[in-house]
Amino acid sequence: MSEYRSFRPAVSIWKPTIGAGTYAPAGTFLETMQDELTAYQHTVQATGGFWQATLTVTANLDRAEDWLSGGLGRHIIVTDDALNVVFEGFVNKVDARVGGFSVTRGPLMDVFNQGVVVYAQADYTTTPPTMGGRYRTAVNNHAASQLLYGVVQKVYSGGGMTDAEALQLRDTFLAEQALPETSKQWSSGGGELSLTVEVYGYVRWLEQVFYSYTAGTGGYNLSTKLADVLDYEPNNIFASANAAITANTTQVERYEDSDRSCWAIVKSLVAAGDSTYNRYVFTCYAGRFVTYAPAPTTVEYQQLLADPEQRVVTLQGAPVEPWNVLPGKWLFFPDFLVGRVRPDTALANDPRALFIEAVTYTMPRMLQVDGSRWGSIQQRLGLMGLRGVGP
């Protein structure tokens, strides 16, 4: 008999409690869904941790209407039968289908309720009109939207315009995009009633926060800047105090005034590694707990290509359930190229070893593991400020 069993995760759902400057994901418990689940998939990344999940459930009309009206932003925790958290995130998009009529609400991350317009100041009193330097409007807020969804920032590029035009454009964006979009489609084909929910890992809030530090320039410890970026998130979803950030004294520039998102900065800092070009991983898992640490240099998982059940196991041979396989670890294939590679070959150069960049699990038991070659070129270029250089 197979050691593997069928699996249907449990999906627990909360309504967040949101106030001015506060965002408590597990505010009010709503329900747990399990038997209703007809499809589930999640992706977890070595740079990011819990990244994205999609779940589909059978639904009646009341449930579909409830999710369309109030589902965005709901806090989601997915657990296995041993109560291990296999995914945690927030609802970014809801898609309900009733017969031939489909309604999509979101994405939440397309909302704009705090932000600015960046523009080139235009002077139309000259012939021809002239463009001045790069300017940024003052920040404006949509308080009602923020109390519903939290602060979702945007920086829009307005091109050449006057100060008044830039303010008008900012406020137009704010008025039109403060609430999530609802799109609809109808076809005569019909179909069963279904509900599909897209869930983002909390780390993706950093994609909507634009970091700035202009009080000074010069070298700064990489790990300290990473902590500063986490603490910059306006909803206080993250905190460097609730993180395990390994000290990294590699020096980076502290000054930031180019409207880069916090996530873009995190990725560049993680890619830089350290002064001896060691690889680092950055993950956000259960409880929005962030870990930044050197990548492992030893194998944790192995997989026998001859195994008819295609199991991932530990070095001791204990099976690892596919929904519990994590990125940022080495996976080894011991029955591949047997006798053709020296056993002391460095893992990064061993074709039998794969550093897991991302895992995608699909219910009930399908697992896809993605790896890539990692070298020091990206790190060297990043530390020199040449992020865009490549072949």
What is the Cα Rg of the chain in Å?
24
Tokens of 300: 């944790």
Q: What's the gap between Cα 140 and its chain centre?
A: 26
Query: Residue written as tokens 């180019």?
Result: 258
CB-count burial class (<10 Å; 0-12, 13-18, 19+) for 319: middle
One digit per residue, pLDDT tens: the chain, 391 residues?
344 456 789 999 999 999 887 899 999 999 999 999 999 999 999 999 999 999 999 888 899 999 999 999 999 999 999 999 999 999 999 999 888 889 999 999 999 999 999 998 877 777 777 677 788 999 999 999 999 999 999 999 888 888 999 999 999 999 999 999 999 988 876 677 889 999 999 999 999 999 999 998 888 999 999 999 999 999 999 999 999 999 999 999 999 988 899 999 999 999 999 988 899 999 999 999 999 999 999 999 999 888 888 899 999 999 999 999 999 999 999 888 887 776 666 788 888 889 999 999 999 999 999 997 555 555 555 555 544 433 3
pLDDT of residue 240: 93
Which helix (H) or strand (E) segment holds residue 357: the answer is: strand 353-362
pLDDT of residue 232: 94
pTM comes to 0.90
What region, left, alpha or beta, does residue 190 occupy, with left being phi > 0 and alpha being psi -120 to 50 degrees?
left
Q: What is the DSSP letter of 143?
A: H
Q: Tell me the CA distances in angstroms from 182 to 98, 178, 363, one per residue in order.
A: 15, 12, 29
